[in-house]
Chain A
Amino acid sequence: MVNQILKAPEGPPSDVEGIKERSNYLRGTLKEVMLDRISAGIPEDDNRLMKHHGSYLQDDRDLRNERAKQKLEPAYQFMLRVRLPGGVASPEQWLVMDELADKYGNGTLKLTTRETFQMHGILKWNMKSTIQSIHNALMDTIAACGDVNRNVMCSSNPDQSELHSEVYEWSKKLSNDLLPRTRAYHEIWLDEEKVAGTPEIDEVEPMYGPLYLPRKFKIGIAVPPGNDIDIFSQDLGFIAIVEDNKLVGFNVAIGGGMGMSHGDNATYPQLAKVIGFCKPHQLYEIAEKTITIQRDYGNRSVRKNARFKYTVDRLGLETVKAELEHRLGWKLDEAKPFHFDHNGDRYGWVKGVKGKWHFTLFIEGGRVADFDDYKLKTGLREIAKIHTGDFHLTGNQNVIIANVSTQKKKKINELIEQYGLTDGRHYSALRRSSMACVALPTCGLAMAEAERYLPSLINKIETIVDENGLTDKEITIRMTGCPNGCARHALGEIGFIGKAPGKYNMYLGAAHDGSRLSKMYRENIGEVEILNELRVLLSRYAKEREEGEHFGDFVIRAEIIKATTDGTNFHD
């Protein structure tokens, strides 16, 4: 029953609320419109629902104007996001995705900042076959997007592989248990027969209800000292607490998120805050109750302010904690001490337990493709063919070839060499600490390039870095094509947000371990200014930095930028 003291914001429900309400549990008219042959697109309402099935209608923005002239509709195509809890995929699953990308997609795979696969460029008529192939490979795309709980992330830190597998199991369980219950997905994509009669509302979606959540909801589990999943950017984060190599439980953090809108200070990135500690078996209960709080009090009127972080800031951290404990019927323990030291990945070979090896490979922009001089996709395919362990997709858009037996290690290493997967070009410290979101040409919200541009920008920054002897210094650099922050720009020591083609806002001052947000340093600047600024900043850093001082901390100590102490003062 809903606590009466608290209230959701007043105001008429947003358009999306209406669409969800009319959708009969995410069905809408998807079945029909997917069959229409006159357009490769689908109506906006159905596209809203489509997201809950893990897909988006997009168009190739490079071709928009050209095609309009040619009297052709936009080059409509679907993006498909796999639900891959903890980012773990078997070699068989990798091979399926690899093949689907060529067969139905644009020939590439995108390893996302939430540890999963994305395909781009799927035509409407191929969506069903694609989803069915994914289903046959024991994966799905349910709730990979939409106003529901998203892919549950989990640290892929290979140094503690025994812990990883334990934590991974928890993330998988969370992801599965928090799935929507509607059969819409199975009916539309997997030809499941519709069961007659309409069950009671609370039977269909006991937790979500007919309107689902006001907005997306994200959960991640981090294993210190690695913060590769940026635990503080999650709506709900669990920090694994390990005592003499045993997982004793998790600190609970709530209310994080990266997104904002240009020129709207009521929107801001925010960090999740730790509110206590729980035992492993209490994870699901906490997640479920937290989600129902957001369900009941989240803003369903203004989507821009609908994320849980705004609910928490509006109601107050303590109130939300109290409400949570009220719904749980028990109190959280005192949070336990923990320590993060980085939010990047550690590359190359490391030896885990039980004689298993792990190789972390940097994937620039998370894009797995065959380039003229770098057959990355083929190389990984060849590895997948002989690999007996698994693949871990990381929160930094990279991949770990994990659990390699000693005897396989040699062969895999040969393939790595053969395909130049260790090629130095892909390995300067700055580059391997970089992330870029998809942006153009597929992302409908992009205002500027990101994935396609950052590599060339880094080429130029690298020369500055080299000049200043910082070649081996890890500085996280992140670029997004718009303020939504899909590459968690606000947690990059150097951050860029697209403003307009070729123009970016530049951010500084985030912590290297993901515990402090950045702040805007320069607005609306192009490449030349960017390089000029960095030339000055990096040479100062080279000369003036203290022992082991990270760039993000340096710019604050040197009073180049003011520290952001909370999302609410991000814009100050």
Chain B
Amino acid sequence: MQLQVLNSPFNQEQAELLNRILPTLTESQKVWLSGFLAAAQFSSVSGPGNVQTAELPSGNTAQAISKDVTILFGSQTGNAQGLAKTAAKKLEENGFQVTIQSMSDFKPNNLKKIHNLLIVTSTHGEGTPPDNALSFHEYLHGKRAPKLDELRFSVLALGDSSYEFFCQTGKDLDTRLGELGGTRLYPRFDCDLDYDEPASEWLSGVLSSLNEAGGGTHVSEEAPSSQIGDAVYSRTNPFKAEVLENINLNGRGSNKETRHLELSLEGSGLTFEPGDSLGIYPENDPALVQLLLDEMNWDPEQIVTVNKKGDVLPLKDALVSHYEITTLTKPLLEKAALLSGSEKLQELVSAGNEDQLKGYLDGRDLLDLLRDFTPWIGSVQEIVSILRKMPSRLYSISSSLTANPDEVHLTIGAVRFNAHGRERKGVCSIQAAERLQPGDTVSIYIQHNDNFKLPNNPETPIIMVGPGTGAAPFRSFMQEREETCAKGKTWMFFGDQHFVTDFLYQTEWQKWLNNGVLTKMDVAFSRDTAEKVYVQHRMIEQSKELFEWLQAGAHLYICGDEKHMAHDVHHTLIKIIEKEGGLSREQAEEYLAEMQQQKRYQRDVY
């Protein structure tokens, strides 16, 4: 029989398509199709578990292929990974068969076989890919990259607009996939630190275009929740943790201040593993907020709307707890230009002045902006509306849950610097250093990090490179290995400015050395000697033994400063492998890349 628009729920186009296909179907295909539709129907209500689709004979009919979606994520600190999982869940709910993988686990030569590809990636370093996206990024940009005319893709890029190369990795991949012949099934979204809204917007967009093209079943309405993991508390629903202990780890006379913070997780149901991070939603310095209010003589009590949902807050509270007021970004200034009568500002944001703009952003904050570019014609509401939502700060967890049940410890370096004639204070670290008292609470969430984990095998030796606050996760590693009586050898490299004042957790390392939990420790204090020594110098001194450890299968971890330390250590490692392994530079780099592939070389850098 012929289907018609009248005698069926289909529109003209659908009816014609069906009429063309149905007559050609064999009996078995008809049976299969009915079952398939039923199952798809079923799965769209009851979420994942679309059994039949999973049994799809590969390389099957157009619809079947179009329902195959691969999601690849590149993620350093877990945000992109979280969103990728959310997307997978949502797509499965909508009857798609989803393969989700970290880019580093994905075999690039399978790329040709893929028809629907979603990319979720962040950017790190100075616009470089997160570690687990490195190889994929390199492959795509290399000669071996295949033609991808069959490919339909879309990219969700995570970033931070205060960085010069905003969402660079996302942009790279997006452009490159295009060059290789792929077609965008939905345009790329670049998300700033408050990425939840744009991310779900992108996801719905992707879904509908997949459906249009691939005829998936109806799009479920409920917005995706970015809650992953078992805890009810999450990044979008932070837990108020009580401060148990807050001490300065630096001795008198130090140039540094490093806070050791102990928080209670009691009643939160939150759990974590060594290597995970903790997110804190900090509050701005009330003194700075007061300066802003005075500067603009704004009424602290004036009610302002703080988000699309229409939540409202008194201006003062909004500035203290909701908005970011200490970092300026290019987009922010562009928006601000529309609210200011200042020529200078128009000038600054106009094309051709990127360098001046970049220069201006560095080390300046909202107060500078408001002072420098009067008169302001925009209303209070208009002005605050262009501010970014206060981003959370991540901290490598420095305790083990096994060793300290219901507690989480952090190691926070106070950020203070003078810029443009004013003392500047890091929002979160200085809240910890100057305001947080035992008994106070802070909004926190756990940021799981699969890319920084102890080896599954407790016998496996580990080498830890963690100068300064980079020592944090390794304290957690040591506590865990002590609790679980792991037998594997351990080697810690630590460094800071001065031995006497800056040897973070000194007595604990000494204890672990004595009881054997820590096999070996090397320290470098840069300002105790005429010529500066850093961890990488100690590694060179030990290069022979260090390479032996690597050969014996040791995992190597780096944590701490991204800009200088992580790079220097990385290149030192290549040198060492080159020298001790008698390899060429390329081979040495290969060796390290291979280690990265096997997750034997992991970094937690910032």
Q: Which residues of A contact B (CB under 8 A)?
A: 37-40, 63, 66-73, 75, 123, 125
Contact = CB atoms under 8 A, between A and B. Distances in A.
30 contacts: A37-B499, A37-B522, A38-B509, A38-B510, A38-B513, A38-B521, A38-B523, A39-B510, A40-B499, A40-B500, A67-B251, A69-B247, A70-B247, A70-B248, A70-B249, A70-B250, A71-B260, A71-B504, A71-B505, A71-B507, A72-B251, A72-B503, A72-B507, A73-B503, A73-B506, A73-B507, A123-B499, A123-B500, A125-B528, A125-B529
B301 interface: no
A40 B504 CA distance: 14
B251 A75 contact: yes
Interface in B499-521: 499-501, 503-510, 513, 521
Given A70-B250, A125-B529, 7 more contacts: A38-B509, A68-B507, A70-B248, A71-B260, A72-B501, A75-B500, A123-B500
Contact of A71 (B499, B506, B528): B506
A40 B510 CA distance: 12
Nearest to A62: B252
Given A37-B523, A38-B521, A72 B252 contact: no
B443 to A, nearest CB: 27
A70 B251 contact: yes
Contacts of A70: 247-251
Interface SS of chain B: helix, strand, loop or mixed? mixed
Contacts of A72: 249, 251, 501, 503, 506-507
A123 B501 CA distance: 12
A82 B336 CA distance: 70
Interface string B250-261: 111000000010
Contacts of B252: 63, 66
Residue of B250, B499, B522, B529 with highest tally of chain A CB at under 10 A: B499
Contact size range, B: 20 to 34
Contacts of B501: 72
A463 B346 CA distance: 75
B499 to A, nearest CB: 6
A123 B525 CA distance: 13
A349 to B, nearest CB: 41
A38 B499 CA distance: 9
Interface in B103-137: none
A250 to B, nearest CB: 48
Interface in B235-257: 247-252
Nearest to B499: A40
Of A37, A63, A125, most buried by chain B (CB within 10 Å of CB) is A37
B515 to A, nearest CB: 14
A535 B521 CA distance: 60
A256 to B, nearest CB: 40
A403 B218 CA distance: 107
A33 B273 CA distance: 37
Rank and list the top 3 A-B pairs by shortest CB-CB distance, nearest first.
A71-B507, A71-B505, A72-B506
Contacts of B528: 123, 125
A38 B251 CA distance: 16
Interface in B165-222: none
A40 B500 CA distance: 8
A158 B505 CA distance: 55
Contacts of B521: 38
A40 B523 CA distance: 12
B508 A71 contact: yes
Contacts of B247: 69-70
B564 to A, nearest CB: 22
A70 B504 CA distance: 8
Contacts of A75: 251, 500
Nearest to B502: A72
B77 to A, nearest CB: 27
A354 to B, nearest CB: 46
A38 B507 CA distance: 10
B502 to A, nearest CB: 9
A38 B514 CA distance: 11
A546 B507 CA distance: 62
Contacts of A125: 528-529
Nearest to A70: B249
Contacts of B509: 38
Nearest to B508: A71
Contacts of A68: 507
A149 to B, nearest CB: 35
B119 to A, nearest CB: 44
Contacts of B510: 38-39, 73
A69 B521 CA distance: 22
Contacts of A40: 499-500
A19 B537 CA distance: 37
A557 B249 CA distance: 60
A244 B260 CA distance: 75
Interface string B472-510: 000000000000000000000000000111011111111
Contacts of B523: 37-38
A38 to B, nearest CB: 6
Contacts of B260: 71
Nearest to A41: B510
Nearest to B503: A72
B48 to A, nearest CB: 47
Scoring A40, A66, A68, A70 by chain B CB atoms within 10 A of each residue's CB, the highest score goes to A70
Nearest to B509: A38
Nearest to B507: A71
A125 B250 CA distance: 20
A125 B530 CA distance: 12
A38 B248 CA distance: 20
Contacts of B249: 70-72
A71 B478 CA distance: 15
B414 to A, nearest CB: 14
Contacts of A39: 510
Contacts of A63: 251-252
Nearest to B505: A71
A205 to B, nearest CB: 35
Contacts of A67: 251
Contacts of B522: 37
A72 B252 CA distance: 11
A71 B475 CA distance: 12
B492 to A, nearest CB: 10
A63 B250 CA distance: 12
Contacts of B503: 72-73
A254 to B, nearest CB: 45
Contacts of B248: 70
Contacts of B250: 70
Nearest to B511: A71
A39 B508 CA distance: 12
B527 to A, nearest CB: 13
Contacts of B529: 125
A45 B521 CA distance: 23
Interface string B418-444: 000000000000000000000000000
Nearest to B250: A70
A39 B513 CA distance: 11
